[in-house]
């Protein structure tokens, strides 16, 4: 019996060693590769754009605002090209495509398309989320991603490159924030289908699943105010009676986003995951990033459903 246990342990250790070893091999010639990133005004996208620029990549940085474009133009090399881009609008995506085509050398395609743009939206209870709340979040987080891929995939196929889609740990475990979580579950399914569709075309598809990081997306005070405003403006007497004690001040329902030691401020963890997905010869299918994601939420997703429900429903008590 002991020898069997030892054999299993040895096999597991060998597997993980080989996995780590093989995935450490990098593609070369970064200076010849072109990457487009969406959502570069702040947070992960902005940090990734700067990092890839420092590695020698030619970066197209999609920004929603002129402020974001100015920051990157000031702090990065002249290789980096900023693109005014709203992924929720097809005309903006198509205009960005034309700019990228004009800028790329004739024999080059895109090595990487990083779909990073995303919004949180209204994280309140379902009865306080309108149809427009869902459409707004889905329009950026999911439909915007599908539009980017639809338009830019021919350029990625030309380079036999990479598509990196940003999901979330919320796409693996539904812990709250209804419109956002629904959009991220959609990203997971869409990315799985896209990966299988492109497998025989030489294009690799990776999914980044960050936990909660201290970025503008997870601004606790802003989220708390959003929940409180939704309650004040939309709650009828029935909802107030049912949920007033937890939503009236916007506090209890947003505990998940409240700053704690388990919520990381080190966004370089996410940047490193993006970078590995773009530079490894053998990128992973999924990159789960962050202490809360790895050590709390992913393990919780394997618990019996009744137990997970019991734990996560505590936020509504």
Residue numbers annotated as active site? 180
CB 230 within 8 Å of CB 122: yes
Q: Which residues of 121-158 are buried (b: 16+ CB within 10 A; e: fewer)?
A: bbbbbeebbeeebbebbbbbbbbbbbbbbebbbebbeb
Contacts of 139 (CB under 8 A, 6+ apart): 88
Copy the structure tokens of residue 198.
């492109």
């Amino acid at each position: 019996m002991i020898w069997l246990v030892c054999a299993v342990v040895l096999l597991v250790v060998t597997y993980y060693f080989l996995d780590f070893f093989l995935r450490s091999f990098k593609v070369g010639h970064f200076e010849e590769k072109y990457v487009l990133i969406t959502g570069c005004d702040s947070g992960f996208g902005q940090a990734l754009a700067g990092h890839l620029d420092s590695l020698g990549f030619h970066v197209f940085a999609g920004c929603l605002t002129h402020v974001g474009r100015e920051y990157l133009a000031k702090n990065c090399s002249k290789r980096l090209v900023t693109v005014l881009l709203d992924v929720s609008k097809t005309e903006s995506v198509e205009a960005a495509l034309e700019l990228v085509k004009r800028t790329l050398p004739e024999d080059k395609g895109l090595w990487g398309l990083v779909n990073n743009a995303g919004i949180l939206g209204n994280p309140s209870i379902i009865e306080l989320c309108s149809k427009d709340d869902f459409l707004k979040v889905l329009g950026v987080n999911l439909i915007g991603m599908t539009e980017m891929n639809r338009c830019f995939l021919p350029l990625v196929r030309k380079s036999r490159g990479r598509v990196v889609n940003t999901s979330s740990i919320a796409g693996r475990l539904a812990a709250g924030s209804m419109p956002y979580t629904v959009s991220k579950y959609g990203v997971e399914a869409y990315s799985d289908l896209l990966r299988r569709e492109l497998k025989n075309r030489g294009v690799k598809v990776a999914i980044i699943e960050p936990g909660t990081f201290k970025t503008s997306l997870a601004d606790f005070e802003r989220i708390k105010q959003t929940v409180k405003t939704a309650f004040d403006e939309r709650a009828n007497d029935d909802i107030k009676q049912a949920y007033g004690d937890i939503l009236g001040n916007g506090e209890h329902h947003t505990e998940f986003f409240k700053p704690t030691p388990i919520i990381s401020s080190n966004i370089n963890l996410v940047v490193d995951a993006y970078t590995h997905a773009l530079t490894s010869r053998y990128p992973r299918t999924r990159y789960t990033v962050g202490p809360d994601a790895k050590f709390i939420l992913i393990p919780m997703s394997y618990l019996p459903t009744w137990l997970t429900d019991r734990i996560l429903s505590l936020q509504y008590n």
